[in-house]
Amino acid sequence: MCTPKRVGFDYVWLVEHHFLEDLSRSSAPEVFLAAASQHTTRIRIGHGVVLAPPPFNHPTKVAERIGALDILSRGRIELGFGRSVTVEELGGFGIDPAESRPMMQEAIKLIPRLWEGRRFSGYEGQYVSIPPRVIVPRPIQQLHPPLWMACSTAPSFEAAGHYGLGCLSFTSPGAGDLGDLLASYRDALNAAIFAGKSVNAQAAAFTTLYCAPER
């Protein structure tokens, strides 16, 4: 039997993509994340991002999936929201690009409500209709898993702050540009209308590195 080793990573994140050749090897990230949860004990399990427009993933199924992953990971799951900006993905699911942002925003506000109480009272929205139902399983983290949002433009940084979500920066700007974007995120966070029951004020930035054998 192999002895588990601690190598210093705090998070593992896996994105969701479809139809994008090599980028879409992670079309069902919950499968890998469930497996990772069984071979680790400390690392945070990041489902980042779930493509949130309902034609990709119905909000009820996202709520159920995250609940199951949170139980399997013993309370280590984190949920990131995104919408995709590619014609291949959006068109493949019949989504009008102009509707993808409001679709995602509706899901962001709805999903935390699906974890409240034993029976959901029902919902009639612009893009989603859910009758009164019992929705299980629910996450074991209180008040719910930390919530994040993918950010690549100034409006998305501000939107993440507005909803009280953590900022997953998928841009690769210079340090000064990223600082300005994060400043706008924090300004919006200070005046947030929260989507969930708790605020996630963290920011994580994606970048690329090239590892060479010498300087």
Q: Where are the domains of the chain?
A: 11-205
Q: For the whole model, what pTM was predicted? A: 0.90
pLDDT in the model for residue 4 = 60
Interior angle at CA 207, CA 206 and CA 210, nearest 5 = 145
Stretch 142-166: mean pLDDT: 93
Please report, in angstroms and rounded to a whole number, the separation of the first and last CA atoms in the chain.
38
How far lies 60's CA from each of 3, 64, 107, 108, 182, in Å?
38, 6, 9, 12, 31
Residue at 119: amino acid letter: R
Q: How far, in Å, CA of 187 to CA of 182, rounded?
A: 9
Q: What H or E segment, with its residue span, contains residue 34? A: helix 29-38
Name the helix (H) or strand (E) containing 13: strand 11-14
Contact 104, 147 (CB under 8 A): no
pLDDT band at 117 (very low <50, low <70, confident <90, very high): confident
What does pLDDT average to over the chain? 91
Instruction: Give 37-70 pLDDT, tens digit per residue.
Output: 999 999 999 998 999 999 999 999 999 999 999 9
Q: Quickly name the fold that domain 11-205 has.
A: TIM Barrel (3.20.20)
Q: How much is the pLDDT for 1?
A: 45
Match 């930390």 to its residue by tokens.
Answer: 146
pLDDT band at 174 (very low <50, low <70, confident <90, very high): low
Strand 133-134 and strand 119-120: pairing? antiparallel
Give the separation between CA 89 and CA 23, rounded to whole angstroms. 11
pLDDT (tens digit per residue) in 124-144: 999 999 999 999 999 999 999
- Whether residue 208 is predicted with pLDDT greater than 90 in this model: the reply is no
Q: Pull the structure tokens for residue 48.
A: 């980042």
In 3D, which of 72, 16, 1, 63 has the Cα closest to residue 40?
Answer: 72
